[in-house]
Structure 1
Amino acid sequence: MINDSTQPMQLEAETVITTFENYGMAWGLYIGLTLLLAGLVWFAFRKQHFLLKWFFASVILAGALCFGHPAENIETYSPLILNTMVELFDGNTEQFMSDIKFIVLVWGILFIVGVGAWLLVRYLRKNKDDAGKAEKQPRKPAKDKQEKASKEASNKDKPMATPVEPTIGDDV
């Protein structure tokens, strides 16, 4: 009998929790705050190597932006990390481990793609810089090089003036 009297209240609570008016705006705010947090971490580690910055940022992005259904027969989504913590507290270790494996898989893919993009950008920049250096330094004719070398040689033969340093008491 107790279940019959609480069942309508439970159904009403599930309806309010799973379907609310600003669902899309809440997700937009959540994603925006997650990106802000990742940006702050990136800024905090700005003087560190790219791989360390990307490691921390990708952990935040993968952990916060994986989504899943909070319960069976519910059409809306919630952050998977929150669902995972609820599963842990409820003692559902099988679902907890499944969720953690999925988050780690998403993180691994995200990290590898980010490092690959970083390596590609470095490779392209290096090739661009090497090509730019070759174009900026036009070849000089051998005659110009010989004239420059002869001028330097003639300047070496000239005696240089010897500097005279003043001493205290010279003005007397």
Structure 2
Amino acid sequence: MAASATCKLHAGHSLTKHHYGGERPACVCALCERIIAGAGYRCGGECGGFNVHESCLSLPMRVAFDQHPAHALELSLLTASRWCDACRVASHAGRCMYRCAACGFDVHPRCTSVLDGEQHGRKRAVVKRVGKAALKVGLFGLRVADAVTGGFGSPLIDVIETALHL
């Protein structure tokens, strides 16, 4: 018999352990909205559209979020599309977000520190560095760095970096 689990956000349906790999189209986790590869769980009920990473089942139901200090946020299954107030990307019905019902503030689990902990922060730092380098190369072509400043020495790049908070 296959291992099973429950999820408070998908009440009434049992989740069956599943090894994800090679599905077309790829299955996306309802909690973090990343592609599931390896161990996970899928709904054994009639909906069949609820898939989740094994590790995402342990996400806390309530979190404090520094960009919304007024209230705690509660993990909720969406019944309609909502925009993440941190990254400005929409999530659709059937996905999950941390929400403050009182303020209408919504944030993806992946945009909080509860997902991947320190590793998530490191990934973001790498993305910033790569984005910064791509910005410099893309706008001005690859140039030799200024030996005095250690940078590219363009005031335009400085303005763009400041505007984008890179």
TM range (shorter): under 0.3
Q: Comparing both structures, which one devotes a greater share of its residues to helix?
A: 1
TM-score (norm 1): 0.21
More strand as a share of residues:
2
